[in-house]
Structure 1
Amino acid sequence: MQTDDADVIIVGAGPAGSSAAYYCAAAGLTVLLLEKAAFPRDKICGDGLTPRATRELVAMGMSLKPEDGWIRNTGLRVVGGGHRIELPWPELSSYPSFGLARTRMSLDHALAQHAVTAGAKLIERTNVTGPLLDERTGRVVGVTARPVDDAGRRAGDEVTYRAPVVIAADGVSARLGLALGLEKRLDRPMGVAVRTYFTTPRQDDTMMESHLELWDGEPHKSNLMPGYGWIFALGDGTANVGLGSVSSTAAATKVDYKDLFAKWMANAPAEWEFTPENQVGPLRGAALPMGFNRTPLYTRGLMLVGDSGGMVSPFNGEGIAYAMQAGRTAADAIVQARARTSDAARERALETYPRLIRADLGGYYTLGRYFVKIIEHPHVMRICTRYGLPRPLIMRFTLKLLSDCYEPHGGDMVDRVIAGLSRLAPAA
């Protein structure tokens, strides 16, 4: 008789997969965490974490000491419309009043090791090739995979791993979801971001910086380019510098991001020292799947978490916080399912995962889709930044809305307005 290799198989050891692995293992389940690369490995990201993401790290018991590679940030600096405004993270009961920054090279490695410490088994250099289906029911009962070398080339025979539940944390490619016919939704926003690193005197800036306008020359005397930029200090002598744009649909973008980035950097202040000789590594880009762009989030024994389920926020391109939240929620559903005594009861427990995620994030993501439809027009964005930024109430509202850091129950007037709008918006 065929026996399972684990209680749960998790494909991908990014923030989503490692969070799910940690919670499942901490609850006593046997966990296989499969990662196609070998740690430490890089991922395209802004490397900045909002208080919402920080809360998830605290809940997992991660050490957030500076000596462990973390730099704290105290808020968001917004530049645009001729204004430069510093907005401290709000003091809330639901979230800490600080964010963090750490390169994905070390963040993902730390999260994976945290899962291993809890009892998960991490298998690196393992490229998952597809789901394993039960011939009778069509249910996912494991995965097929093959070992690969550091260059991603095949390095051995295909192997099969079995488990009653599989978590797809395989990123924007969503290969497992696609294998089950789960195509991305074309009516959901899609972002694109590029980033690189510079050695810079700004390496210890205590605020995340967001540029809402990008000019190809002197501000307000040249052309306004599409997109937004960021500068996140990493405290190690470097800063993550990048830009992105978002579309209200999944239509392919025609923006030349390398050219856009070069023009922005050519007009950056000299004291930032964002020069070619100070650049560390190439400019790299990635797609940002937003607003639940692949559904259902659970079907036939397969759960989609993080980018595989399109969980990036349409408001700010943040994905790590929601990836970790989804991993935690998926793990809880699996742990509860393991305690049930019938197949039907186990399935009901697993089906709570998409309901809980949609109940918490669905309305907020719907508001985000409306937001994207407005700001994807550069002239509208220009008016909003010029006339909205100087108004404290509007900016407090904008900070909480865009960072998703507001009290879901209670709080001040701004919190209640955002929470009310999120509840009223359909979780489609």
Structure 2
Amino acid sequence: MLGATHDDADVIVVGAGPAGASAAYHCAAAGLQVLLLDKASFPRDKICGDGLTPRAVAELVRMGVPIDEQDGWIRNRGLRVIGGGHRIELPWPEISSYPSFGLARARMSFDHLLATHAQAAGAKLLERTMVTGPVRDERTGRVVGVTARPVDADGRRDGDEVVYRAPVVVAADGVSARLATGMGLQKRDDRPMGVAVRTYFRTPRHEDPWMESHLELWDGEPHRSNLMPGYGWIFSLGDGTANVGLGSVSSTAAATKVDYKALFAAWMANAPAEWEFTPENQVGEVRGAALPMGFNRGPLYGQGLMLAGDAAGMISPFNGEGIAYGLQAGRVAADAIAQGLARGTAAGRERAFATYERRMKDDLGGYYTLGRVFVRLIEHPEVMRICTRYGLPRPLVMRFTLKLLSDCYEPRGGDVVDRVIAGLARIAPAA
């Protein structure tokens, strides 16, 4: 391996969410010494819809994560879409690239599972370790490690600062992107930004096999009240509860003036009675998070630092999905790192590391560009209303929409819908 004798690992991964845990697992499985650092201790919560698309499931299969129902998962058949006076169930597509089912599991246990899976592969996990910034070579400016300090359960300093060194660092440290900003890598304001809020409810429908999406949210009886700027979801978790939330998206990073908790309360006041989303059935408070989208920060690799997951703005503008792309980024980053550390020269190492950005942009760049166009369209309520009312009843339109929005299409071959989406993604500029 390249690197000085005082290196603490072959690779340091900052953040043990899906992107970081994936990178740590795949690096460890390739025989590398991995140091995985996280400011929290597991299990810990994360604001999320808790639903995994077939694309995310495929990444879990590649990692060898147990996904049977007895392992704590609930499988879903597809998406139930409600809006424009329609209620339509859309099964996940039967294609060769991805399984025809999704999964759901609370992030409290999901992230813990991934972190321990990376540990079992050989990664060393240090919890309650707050990374404070990059360590850079004085001569070249290249990242050669990180500074960190231990923290207590409330995030307060609990010891002296420590330096950890490695030939390459993966920044999977979430929306805050502390390492990236420490390198002067600012987010792009011309990329979409989403906001989501969610909570949990006890419900008799906790084993519903469909992920439910409400495309129209009203502050009273439909057609007698105002259409609210967002969409809602209900994802059953099979454990007596459902994850219930709503989100909206803007085509730029400009802050919105929407009171999302009030929006959520208005939706719940008019939610379907059969779910029993009453105040006494609510479990935990309504919490929110920002959703950086469409590669809003980069470069994905430069000067010894790789960005993965939310730190790189890898959430899809189409559906707010981030887990699948975080898992993919960790896998692709690990492959580039393993190849780079096997090279005999520094130049060869850097060429291999640089393939990470090229592979991610080649696969997702055009798709995310299409997503930006999609967001600009649905920002107009009337466009969303017309699409919902007249598009939902048309099977071909909805098959196209489901594959496009869920990113579950055959990238090569497949039916006419797959070929159209793949063609659009190829010709769209991967900016």
- What interval of TM-score do these two structures reach, taking the shorter chain for normalisation? over 0.9
Q: Distance in 1 between matches of 2:223 and 2:298?
A: 43
Matched, 1:166 2:169: yes
Q: How many residues align?
A: 428
Deviations 1:377-422 (A, max 9, x none): 1111001100000000000000000000000000000000000000
Aligned to 2:352: 349
Matched, 1:226 2:229: yes
Q: After superposition, where does 1:2-401 map in structure 2 within 5 Å?
A: 3-401=6-404
- Read off the aligned partner of 2:233 and give its amino acid letter: W
Q: Distance in 2 between matches of 1:65 and 1:385?
A: 35
Deviations 1:102-135 (A, max 9, x none): 0000000000000000000000000000000111
Aligned to 1:418: 421
Cα distance, 1:269 vs structure 2:
2.2
Q: Distance in 1 between matches of 2:259 and 2:205?
A: 27
Aligned to 1:409: 412
Cα distance, 1:221 vs structure 2:
1.6
TM-score (norm 2): 0.99
- Read off the aligned partner of 2:159 and give its amino acid letter: G
Cα distance, 1:299 vs structure 2:
0.8
Deviations 1:149-191 (A, max 9, x none): 0010100000010000000000010010001110000000000
Q: Distance in 1 between matches of 2:87 and 2:20?
A: 38
Q: Distance in 2 between matches of 1:172 and 1:182?
A: 13
Q: Distance in 2 between matches of 1:269 and 1:315?
A: 25
Percentage of identical aligned residues: 80
Q: Distance in 2 between matches of 1:270 and 1:227?
A: 20
Q: Distance in 1 between matches of 2:351 and 2:426?
A: 24
Q: Distance in 2 between matches of 1:45 and 1:68?
A: 20
Deviations 1:277-335 (A, max 9, x none): 10000000000000000011111000000000000000000000000000000000000
Q: Distance in 1 between matches of 2:55 and 2:173?
A: 22
Q: Distance in 1 between matches of 2:409 and 2:257?
A: 35
Cα distance, 1:271 vs structure 2:
2.0
Q: Distance in 1 between matches of 2:177 and 2:351?
A: 24
RMSD: 0.7
Deviations 1:41-91 (A, max 9, x none): 000000000000000000101101112110000000000010000000010
User: Per the alignment, in what secondary structure is the counterpart of residue 197 of structure 2?
Assistant: strand
User: Per the alignment, in what secondary structure is the counterpart of residue 204 of structure 1?
Assistant: coil
Deviations 1:241-287 (A, max 9, x none): 00000000000011000100000000112221101110000000000
Q: Distance in 1 between matches of 2:148 and 2:178?
A: 12
Cα distance, 1:202 vs structure 2:
1.4
User: Per the alignment, in what secondary structure is the counterpart of residue 354 of structure 1?
Assistant: helix
Cα distance, 1:220 vs structure 2:
1.7
- Read off the aligned partner of 1:400 and give its amino acid letter: K
Cα distance, 1:2 vs structure 2:
5.8
Q: Distance in 1 between matches of 2:160 and 2:87?
A: 57
- Read off the aligned partner of 1:150 and give its amino acid letter: A
- Read off the aligned partner of 1:169 and give its amino acid letter: A
Q: Distance in 2 between matches of 1:241 and 1:297?
A: 33
Question: Which runs of 5 or more residues in structure 2 are unaligned?
Answer: none
- Read off the aligned partner of 1:148 and give its amino acid letter: V
User: Per the alignment, in what secondary structure is the counterpart of residue 263 of structure 1?
Assistant: helix
Q: Distance in 2 between matches of 1:376 and 1:103?
A: 30
- Read off the aligned partner of 1:365 and give its amino acid letter: Y
User: Per the alignment, in what secondary structure is the counterpart of residue 45 of structure 1?
Assistant: coil
- Read off the aligned partner of 1:294 and give its amino acid letter: R
